[in-house]
Chain A
Amino acid sequence: MKKYILTLITTCLFSFIVQADNEAYQKAMEKELQAMKVAKSSEDLQKVANGFSRIAQMMPEEWLPEYYAGLALANAGFRSEGGLEEKDAYFGTAKKHADRAAKISPDNSEVVALQGFITMGELAADPQTRGQHLSGQAMQTFGKAVDLNRQNPRAIILLAQMELGMAQFFGQGPEKACGLVQSSLELFRKEADETKVESFEPRWGKEMAEQMKDNCQN
């Protein structure tokens, strides 16, 4: 009897610890996602990225913490008001996180889209000297992300941005890009309807699509 209760307690205790870990993961993810929503400066985003990379160290099998660390740093790079060196440092570290996420979860459309997003950031930091080299690379990465999951609105809206830039450069109409914006908006709507509870799957990008839609109507 005694032995039985002991086993029961140890089992309880063990599952309690596992659950505690899982709970801690949930709590930490929620906290950092919340912090990311309100983050304004690149310094804020650096802190958020620190938070996600702490989670990533505890949960080496999860791709999401690495993904969000990369995303936060990419956004920090976009928002940075510093020089090229500072921006490149943000994008460089972002890339490391995205690559680790890709290792944990290969052929993941979201991760590939993030990799393209980072390349886009490097391009935007110095378009004059990097345009020729990186625009093709960004375009190709977004194309791959779309191929991996045609229902991924982020991959589509990012591809639309590159398409629009390309069309403007060659003096062509924005029809193709605007078509992509339209289909991404539909997918964003669908995504919002099927919000799962306690899912940390990426949900960002809708504002970008709406902004581009306005441009398309002008």
Chain B
Amino acid sequence: MKILLSTFFILWSTIALSQTIIEGIVFDHKGTTIPGVNIYLRGTFEGTSSEIDGSFNLVTDIEGEVIVVFQALGFKTFESPQTLKAGNIVIRPVLKETINEMTAVTISAGALEASDEKKSIVLKPVDIVTVPSAMGDVVGAFQTLPGTAAVGNDGRLFVRGGDASETAIFIDGMKVGNAFGTTAANVPTRTRFNPNLFKGSFFSTGGYSAEYGHALSSALSLNTVDMPARNQGDISILSVGAGYNQTLVGKKNSLTASANYFDLSPYQSLVRQNFDWERAPYGWDAEVSGRQKWGNSGMLKAYFHTSANGMKLWQKTSQSQGRGSLLGIDNNYHFGQLSFKQLAGESWSLYGGMSFSSNTDNFSIAGLNVRNQNQVLHGKMVAVKDFSDKFSLKTGVEHFVFSYSENLITEDLERSFVDHQPTVFAEADYYFSNKLILRSGLRTGYSALGEESWLDPRFSLAYKFQNQGQLSLAAGRYSQSAVEQLRIFNTELQNTVADHLILNYLLSTNGRTIRAEAFYKDYKNLLTFEGMPYQYENVAQQGAGFARGMDVFYRDQKSFKNTDFWLTYSYVDSKRVFAQFNTMVQPWFAPRHNGSVVVKHWIQALKSQLGLSWVINDGYTFTDPNFPGEMNAKTRSFQDLSIGWSYLPKPNLIIHLACNNVYGRENVFGYQFSPQANEAGRFESQPVGLQAPRFFLLGVFLTLSKDKNANNLNNL
């Protein structure tokens, strides 16, 4: 017994007496020393940190087999097994770099990302809705960004010589059919969706990922808010309508419902219009969105939108008598989607969903009633596997159903088509280091109607310099089915195809961003036809073309106090044989020189933000029949100066006043020529202009919640 006790005490004292000193210097793979490394003996309280010069010194009483652990942010944990006995041990570990998602290089070719979470972004979501010329429209703000052309009498997105149908819009990764309201020629349209729904967006002007298809030129992906901040009610009263939005937030779920109504009649009775309106544009929408979290990482979102809009307009041509012919438009739209995302274990993540959009247009013109119906169904399932911090693989399966019908109601005639397109894509990201990434992908699909399959390879490469600047290169093939209005005449039409090549430089530091991009785009299989809408003939794919150019973007939030501004210049040289043209022409929607300036200035004393945006281009091409050739003339330059004033008298109240085309410039988008020459042998013309020189908007936005500081902008 005594022996046992004494052995124990002897043992104990030896443990206390023997000391080991572990010392050394910690390096990274380049031979630079690393300070602040956490160094400890696993399973004990013993440890230390490396000094500024990377050196360390750990004195311990522990003896025997131990594992010395080296841990530092941005590096892989290094373990060194050692046998400790009194004396010195020298370790000189070399820590391997890990890929840091926050600071590593990102692919920025073609991309203009707006987010609060990510780093290499150009804009925040709130920046988008406060662009004065946008008048609260998501897409309106994108028209001040590089690569886009302002086509003031259309309102949709025209990217780098591409027409509006070449831009695809997605919400939470799901395709949205007919994202813009139906409108008449020369009456600009808007997106249907409320900007407050979205927390961020990814706008690509080319070279985008294999995840996005059915877009020749551009993809705009909008991401909805994950969890709203609080219960709140938002009332908006506008000079052209009103709306209410209610948000309810639970612990794991939330619900938002909103309804809006607009009618331009009262406004148009006050402000003189150039167009002859029988019924001013009006419309309403209602939306419900719900989100449910499950587990640690799962999220399910549902979103339903329904809206209707209409207008009646007298259209006059040079030979028509009286008020001309009456065009009536009546539009009904429904959109619904379900999407989910879920982390599965350490290295897998899954996301996907279903979306359905249905658009019905009823047109009446000169006693003729036409109904068009367009439906898009999209299902998608994507799995991402991270094999290591350097390598990840994304694979996805998608299915699209496109259906379109045209109905001549008076004659009881109908024509329609339905196309099924199963699609598969895969994309691999490989980080050579924190500075260099390669992404390569493949997208393949099959059209049941066109009996055609295709294979679109895409790749991009990005390198980050020491000074935080990064250079990206992207190339790929993009295909898109023929537009419905033409496909219905020839269901054997194949995909239109564009090849992209993009070189991008992005430097974003300390409140300043410079972005420069050069691009080349080659179009094949463009659609050609003869005849008039609803009566097209010889619809074929004899067309081809190109677009090349460069754009520059500079944004500065630092140089002037309380001021944020950006400048954009885009040069586009585009020619194509397409539509009814027989020769290579510059399309009317692709002005050569495009510029924009956006300035926002906060004035503390007035509690106001003043905004200004100026958009200019060198004019739109048109064909003047008095001279030989096609697209042989160009309009005067388009210019629009818009100003906005947002006044926040109380934290929960915003009063917003905006006006576009402040100095009332008579912008011309083209000319309408009489079909016959006059006695002097000349074709007479009249300019196609704006419906009114200016548009004013007054809005009052009031937020009701327990948090008195909450306002409409907090949603973003």
A171 near B45: Cβ-Cβ < 8 Å: no
Docked Cα-Cα span, A54 to B1, in Å, equals 39
Contact with A along B525-561 (1 / 0, CB 8 A): 0000000000000000000000000000000011000
Docked Cα-Cα span, A137 to B558, in Å, equals 24
Prevailing SS type, chain A contact patch = helix
A85 interfacial contact with B, CB 8 Å: yes
Docked Cα-Cα span, A122 to B360, in Å, equals 48
Q: Which residues of B contact A57 (CB under 8 A)?
A: 40
B413 interfacial contact with A, CB 8 Å: no
A139 near B45: Cβ-Cβ < 8 Å: no
* Chain A, Cβ-Cβ closest to B650: A170
A85 near B52: Cβ-Cβ < 8 Å: no
A170 near B607: Cβ-Cβ < 8 Å: yes
B38 near A24: Cβ-Cβ < 8 Å: no
B626 interfacial contact with A, CB 8 Å: no
B36, B103, B713: the one contacting A47 at CB < 8 Å is B36
Among B8, B45, B510, B648, the most chain A Cβ lie within 10 Å of the Cβ of: B45
B716 near A85: Cβ-Cβ < 8 Å: no
Give chain A nearest CB distance to B352 CB in angstroms. Answer: 27
B124 interfacial contact with A, CB 8 Å: yes
Please report which residues of chain A, range 138-165, place their CB below 8 angstroms from some CB of chain B when the two chains form the complex. 139-140, 143
Prevailing SS type, chain B contact patch = loop
B73 interfacial contact with A, CB 8 Å: yes
B47, B607, B710, B713: the one contacting A54 at CB < 8 Å is B47
B607 near A50: Cβ-Cβ < 8 Å: no
A136-B229 contact, Cβ under 8 Å, with A2-B1, A143-B707: yes
A128-B558 contact, Cβ under 8 Å, with A54-B38, A133-B116, A140-B707: yes
A89 interfacial contact with B, CB 8 Å: yes
* Chain B, Cβ-Cβ closest to A50: B38
B47 near A51: Cβ-Cβ < 8 Å: yes
A84 interfacial contact with B, CB 8 Å: yes
A170-B49 contact, Cβ under 8 Å, with A132-B124, A139-B709: no
* Chain A, Cβ-Cβ closest to B40: A54
A58 near B44: Cβ-Cβ < 8 Å: yes
A137 near B229: Cβ-Cβ < 8 Å: yes
A104 interfacial contact with B, CB 8 Å: no
B716 near A133: Cβ-Cβ < 8 Å: yes
Q: Which residues of A contact B650 (CB under 8 A)?
A: 170
B229 near A170: Cβ-Cβ < 8 Å: no
A50 near B49: Cβ-Cβ < 8 Å: yes
Q: Which residues of B contact A47 (CB under 8 A)?
A: 36, 49
Docked Cα-Cα span, A85 to B707, in Å, equals 32
A108 interfacial contact with B, CB 8 Å: no
Give chain A nearest CB distance to B470 CB in angstroms. Answer: 14
Contact with B along A48-59 (1 / 0, CB 8 A): 001101110110
Docked Cα-Cα span, A201 to B49, in Å, equals 25
Please report which residues of chain B, range 599-648, place their CB below 8 angstroms from some CB of chain A when the two chains form the complex. 604-605, 607, 648
Docked Cα-Cα span, A140 to B714, in Å, equals 11
* Chain B, Cβ-Cβ closest to A58: B45
Give chain B nearest CB distance to A76 CB in angstroms. Answer: 9
* Chain B, Cβ-Cβ closest to A5: B1
A46 interfacial contact with B, CB 8 Å: yes
Q: Which residues of A contact B716 (CB under 8 A)?
A: 132-133
* Chain A, Cβ-Cβ closest to B714: A136
* Chain B, Cβ-Cβ closest to A92: B102
Give chain A nearest CB distance to B17 CB in angstroms. Answer: 17
A133-B709 contact, Cβ under 8 Å, with A47-B36, A85-B103, A171-B607: no
Please report which residues of chain A, range 75-103, place their CB below 8 angstroms from some CB of chain B when the two chains form the complex. 83-85, 88-89, 92-93
15 A–B pairs (Cβ distance < 8 Å), ordered by A: A9-B8, A13-B8, A43-B35, A43-B36, A46-B49, A50-B49, A55-B45, A58-B45, A89-B74, A126-B511, A128-B511, A128-B564, A133-B124, A133-B716, A171-B607
7 closest A-B pairs by beta carbon, nearest first, are: A50-B38, A47-B49, A46-B36, A54-B47, A50-B49, A133-B116, A136-B714
Q: A residues touching B (Cβ–Cβ < 8 Å)? A: 2, 5, 9, 13, 24-25, 27-28, 43, 46-47, 50-51, 53-55, 57-58, 83-85, 88-89, 92-93, 126, 128-130, 132-133, 136-137, 139-140, 143, 166, 169-171
Task: Give 4 new A-B contacts, CB below 8 A, not counting A50-B37, A57-B40, A132-B124.
Answer: A47-B36, A88-B102, A126-B511, A128-B511
